[in-house]
Amino acid sequence: MIRFFSLSSGSCGNCYYFTNGEVSFLIDAGVGPRITRKNLLEHELKLEDVDFILVTHDHIDHIKSLGIISSKYSKPVYTTKGIRDALLWNMCTRGRLKGSLHLLEKDKVNNILSVKVTPFDVPHDATETVGYFIEFEGHKITIITDCGYMTPSVLEYACLSDTLILESNYDSDMLKEGNYPYQLKTRILGESGHLSNAEACEALMKIYSTRRGRLDNIFLCHISGNNNTPEKCYNAALEALESVGARPQDMLLAVLPRGVPSKMYSL
């Protein structure tokens, strides 16, 4: 059994935890080390027992505490060459990751302990951004946290999963009518920005209709605090899935909260 929870999801910080009871890992480390430790302890888990950290990209909300956690707790960090090179110079990680960085090849299966990890390119305006397709304890998990648009490759990896963690960042009307500067609105709306609720819904319909197996769990992540609400993205996703024949009783659909931990899920 895989246990999973989000320590935080969104521009305020991103960090996701997975364990099968023997191997444990984090995806991103954008939450302060004391809060990370506290959130784990609330589930009788220890930061010291985390085996490794995967990194999706070098934006601060994903790596703010990566250098501190990796160096203080001697945690190996796995990522792709482009992200590795960026981490060597980033103010959050510079000088803190000596000897702890390990390279992953994109679009290839990389074995880390008992976990099979395949990074794949995701369009976003970081130095380099990847999603991860993870095979762990018989489960197939795809995580796509910051994505300007769904490329055919991103869709293909999503279709392989039985657990999907997918960005649903903003409601288009809220963003366009809101008080963000024009330049920021343009960035978010662009092909290197973020997925809207409508774009996430379109992707979910395609994924459900062409999935390679069961789709048991869908977690909507990286919800904007200013341009979205959990209710808007949940209701839109539910309606989209029902329109292609999905039944709510056959799967879990949940929104991962901003800035606070989610509940613990069993996958």
pLDDT over 70 for what percent of the chain? Answer: 100
CATH of residue 31's domain is 3.60.15.10
| pLDDT tens readout for residues 22-36 | 999 999 999 999 999
φ, ψ at 82 (rounded to 5°) = -60, -40
- Contact 85/97 with Cβ under 8 angstroms? no
**pLDDT band at residue 214 under the 50/70/90 scheme:** confident
Closest CA to 117 of 166, 55, 175: 55
- Contact 40/103 with Cβ under 8 angstroms? no
CA torsion 49-163-124-168 (nearest 10°) is -110
Q: Which helix (H) or strand (E) holds 172?
A: helix 172-177
pLDDT at 150: 97
pLDDT at 212: 72
Residue 265 covered by a domain: no
Query: What sign for the dihedral angle of Cα 24, 103, 142, 204?
Result: positive
Residue 222 covered by a domain: yes
- Contact 23/135 with Cβ under 8 angstroms? no
Residue 76 covered by a domain: yes
Q: Range of 109's domain?
A: 3-259
| pLDDT tens readout for residues 145-179 | 999 999 999 999 999 999 999 999 999 999 999 99
Q: What average pLDDT does the segment 8-34 reach?
A: 97
| pLDDT tens readout for residues 102-134 | 999 999 999 999 999 999 999 999 999 999 999
Residue 267 covered by a domain: no
Closest CA to 87 of 73, 72, 71, 105: 71
Q: What average pLDDT does the segment 239-262 reach?
A: 95
User: What proportions of the chain, in percent to the nearest 5, are helix, strand and coil?
Assistant: 30, 25, 45
pLDDT at 205: 96
Q: How many domains does the chain have?
A: 1
Separation CA 56–CA 221 (nearest Å): 14
| Total-model pTM | 0.97
Residue 264 covered by a domain: no
Residue 20 covered by a domain: yes
Considering the chain, what is the average pLDDT of its residues? 96
Residue 184 covered by a domain: yes
